[in-house]
């Protein structure tokens, strides 16, 4: 079953547009949603949450259209915006007391179990929490109302490596029973290499790739060679950089002649992102 399905999403602003954004997330998996700043990650996420009116396209959560079943589906969605805090001068227990009234499946037992697990003191004010603890508090709220789909916008941005690793471990534990799915946007690609099952890569408002993580990594090759070798593959490269040793460039695996003596290696997600961004620069 699909936890999330985004189909042919279009949204036009004066200086930016989402163009035919489509991807799907299966239930019980983590999808990393990557892209540079301004690529369209938050716009897509806000479209999923029906906070933005899309020009066309369809978004289905747990099999139902969000535009038609928004109230019902928001009972099953938990979200966190990594860089936005709410009512920071209020205590956790005050914010929780207000929030829980909105959810019919709220469980105090589950809530307190997550507070203990995340070592959250409900007498602390939101402003007193570290960024990682704030994300954990958002997760505790979401899980206490039985959210099946967690939509997290840059939850690890601004976190130190230890807190990030801790949070990624939490994400992996959450999906273990197959009931919860996570869509997790970030530009810190190393986070996704650790925990994501699927990757959706957005660039300039357009989905470049959406696939199982290893398939995505396998579908590209990072080439390095001399300047002379560059001329052999230049036309087929997505983009390339010239350096003192020759060149490095990204190519679709299907476009690469494996009998060639150009050195080819599996790229990281970060390298894929960088070379796609470089491609845009070339066209600009």
Distance between CA atoms of residues 270 and 198, nearest Å: 15
CA atoms within 13 A on the CB side of 235: 2
Distance between CA atoms of residues 124 and 18, nearest Å: 40
Distance between CA atoms of residues 67 and 50, nearest Å: 7
Q: From 76-84, 193-201, 205-213, 214-222, give the range in contact with other proteins by CB under 8 A.
A: 76-84
Q: From 26-34, 47-55, 178-186, 196-204, give the range in contact with other proteins by CB under 8 A.
A: 47-55
122 touches other proteins by CB under 8 A = no
Q: How far is the CB of 85 from other proteins (least distance, A)?
A: 7
C-beta of 87 vs 245, nearer to other proteins: 87
95 touches other proteins by CB under 8 A = yes
84 touches other proteins by CB under 8 A = yes
C-beta of 5 vs 70, nearer to other proteins: 70
Select the residue interacting with other proteins from 2, 63, 93, 102 (CB under 8 A): 102
107 touches other proteins by CB under 8 A = no
Any idea what the Cα angle at residue 269 is, between residues 267 and 272, rounded to 5°?
65
C-beta of 141 vs 168, nearer to other proteins: 141
Distance between CA atoms of residues 153 and 48, nearest Å: 12
14 touches other proteins by CB under 8 A = no
Any idea what the Cα angle at residue 114 is, between residues 112 and 119, rounded to 5°?
95
Tokens 């936005």 found at = 84
Beta-sheet pairing, 246-252 with 206-212: unpaired
Select the residue interacting with other proteins from 17, 22, 24, 99 (CB under 8 A): 99
Q: How far is the CB of 257 from other proteins (least distance, A)?
A: 46
Q: Give the other-Cβ count within 10 Å of 97's Cβ.
A: 12
Our separate counts of H helices and E strands in the chain read 10, 14
46 touches other proteins by CB under 8 A = yes
Distance between CA atoms of residues 14 and 17, nearest Å: 8
264 touches other proteins by CB under 8 A = no
SS3 state of residue 46: helix
- DSSP annotation of 266 reads P
C-beta of 74 vs 213, nearer to other proteins: 74
119 touches other proteins by CB under 8 A = no
71 touches other proteins by CB under 8 A = yes
C-beta of 95 vs 196, nearer to other proteins: 95
Beta-sheet pairing, 246-252 with 220-225: antiparallel
52 touches other proteins by CB under 8 A = yes
16 touches other proteins by CB under 8 A = no
Q: How many residues does the chain have?
A: 284
Judged by the rule CB under 8 A, the positions of this chain that interact with other proteins are: 46, 49, 51-53, 70-72, 74-75, 79, 81, 84-88, 90, 94-95, 97-99, 101-103
């Amino acid at each position: 079953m699909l936890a999330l399905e985004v189909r042919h999403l279009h949204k036009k602003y004066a200086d930016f547009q989402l163009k035919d954004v489509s991807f799907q997330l299966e239930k019980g998996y983590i999808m990393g949603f990557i892209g540079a700043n301004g690529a369209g990650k938050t716009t897509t996420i806000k479209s999923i949450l029906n906070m933005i009116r899309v020009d066309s396209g369809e978004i289905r959560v747990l099999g139902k259209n969000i535009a038609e079943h928004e109230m019902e589906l928001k009972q099953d969605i938990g979200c966190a915006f990594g860089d936005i805090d709410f009512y920071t001068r209020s205590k956790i227990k005050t914010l929780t007391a207000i929030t829980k009234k909105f959810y019919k499946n709220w469980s105090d037992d589950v809530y307190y179990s997550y507070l203990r697990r995340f070592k959250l003191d409900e007498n602390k004010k939101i402003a007193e929490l570290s960024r990682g603890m704030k994300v954990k508090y958002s997760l505790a709220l979401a899980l206490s109302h039985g959210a099946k789909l967690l939509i997290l916008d840059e939850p690890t941005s601004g976190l130190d490596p230890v807190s990030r690793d801790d949070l990624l471990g939490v994400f992996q534990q959450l999906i273990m029973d197959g009931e919860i799915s996570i869509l997790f946007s970030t530009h810190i690609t190393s986070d996704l290499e650790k925990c994501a099952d699927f990757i959706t890569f957005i660039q300039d408002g357009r989905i470049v790739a959406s696939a199982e993580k290893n398939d995505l990594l396998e579908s590209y090759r990072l080439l390095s060679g001399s300047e002379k070798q560059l001329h052999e593959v230049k036309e087929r490269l997505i983009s390339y950089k010239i350096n003192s040793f020759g060149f490095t460039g990204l190519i679709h695996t299907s476009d690469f002649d494996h009998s060639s003596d150009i050195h080819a290696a599996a790229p990281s997600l970060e390298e894929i992102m960088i070379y796609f961004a470089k491609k845009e620069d070339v066209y600009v």
